[in-house]
Amino acid sequence: MNARALHWSSGFSPAELAAERRLALRVLLVTAVAGLLGALAFTVWPQLDIALARQLFADGDFALRGSDVWSALRRFNMIAYGAFYALVVLGLVGAVRHRGRFWRLAPVQWLYLLATSLTGPLLVTNVILKDNVGRPRPRAVSEFGGEFDFKRLFESGGQCVDNCSFVSGEVSSMVMIAISLFFVLPKWRRPLAFLLFPAWFYAAYMRVGQGGHFPSDTFFAGIFMVAIAAIFYRYVVLGGEGRQNRNA
């Protein structure tokens, strides 16, 4: 294998490469089915969002809003997200400079972690969706004492102008970190798979309980991030390795 191919290879054997590609496609298929079922549930029963959010609403406010403990946890999460992104940049720089593995990950794996972070939580969630869909946050709608009209999932015409409810940025970051590490750390897949859903639920519970998002916002934040991670893993990390092996 030439130096350039070695530099950007994840190091899988042909059999491992085929298995990894099947894994990425299985994850993508399961995610697509889950997304379709979720979309069906929230569109057939549009008041499901209100009913679920109301479970964390009492005495005129959301249960976790203003809580010192949950506010501190949210600040900790934000610091942790920033530290992870900084670590990824440092890892990619180190791997490129060493022209090989750095902190046990190949350059293409560090590139994958950076690409998924930029594309998922930053571009798709914060730039495309939150600033354009216009869905008001729960605490801003009339059902919970706000002044805006509730907008169902995928319904246009929301009165929110920017930084809106669909989808959750913090859930996006939480899920993307867990699922992208799941793909690039095969030896840690079992614990990361068990961690993914509790981490997803924890971030979702926090944001719904603070009145920041509807349950469907947190559900689809995770669905979109898992799909992006699977697609990027299949076509960024694994996409060119067959050609590299043939040219070795």
Tell me: the pLDDT tens digits for 56-96?
999 999 999 999 999 999 999 999 999 999 999 999 999 98
Tell me the pLDDT band of 240, cut-offs 50, 70 and 90. Answer: low
Encoded amino acid at 135, one letter: R
Whether the per-residue pLDDT at 2 is higher than 80: the answer is: no
Number of H helices, E strands in the chain: 9, 2
Percent of the chain with pLDDT over 70: 92
Residues 167/125, Cβ–Cβ less than 8 Å = yes
Q: What is the mean pLDDT of the chain?
A: 92
This prediction has a pTM of: 0.93
Instruction: State how far the Cα of 81 lies from the Cα of 63, in Å rounded to an integer.
Output: 25
Whether the per-residue pLDDT at 244 is higher than 60: the answer is: no
Domain harbouring 145, CATH code: 1.20.144
Tell me the pLDDT band of 8, cut-offs 50, 70 and 90. Answer: low
Q: What is the mean pLDDT of residues 205-215?
A: 98
Question: Largest alpha-carbon pair distance within the chain?
Answer: 67
Whether the per-residue pLDDT at 52 is higher than 80: the answer is: yes
Q: Which of 25-34, 42-51, 237-246 is predicted least confidently?
A: 237-246
Whether the per-residue pLDDT at 33 is higher than 70: the answer is: yes
Whether the per-residue pLDDT at 3 is higher than 50: the answer is: no
Encoded amino acid at 133, one letter: V
As beta bridge partners, residue 57 has 62
Question: 97: domain range?
Answer: 3-247
Q: What is the pLDDT of residue 7?
A: 54
The domain total for the chain is 1
In this predicted model, what pLDDT tens digit does every residue of 100-157 receive, in sequence order? 888 889 899 999 999 999 999 999 999 999 999 999 999 999 999 999 999 999 998 8
Tell me the pLDDT band of 236, cut-offs 50, 70 and 90. Answer: confident
* Alpha-helical regions (H) of 67-214: 68-98, 107-117, 169-184, 189-209
Encoded amino acid at 78, one letter: M
As beta bridge partners, residue 141 has 148
Count CB neighbours of 138 within 10 A. 28
**What are residue 141's phi and psi, to 5 degrees?**
-95, 160
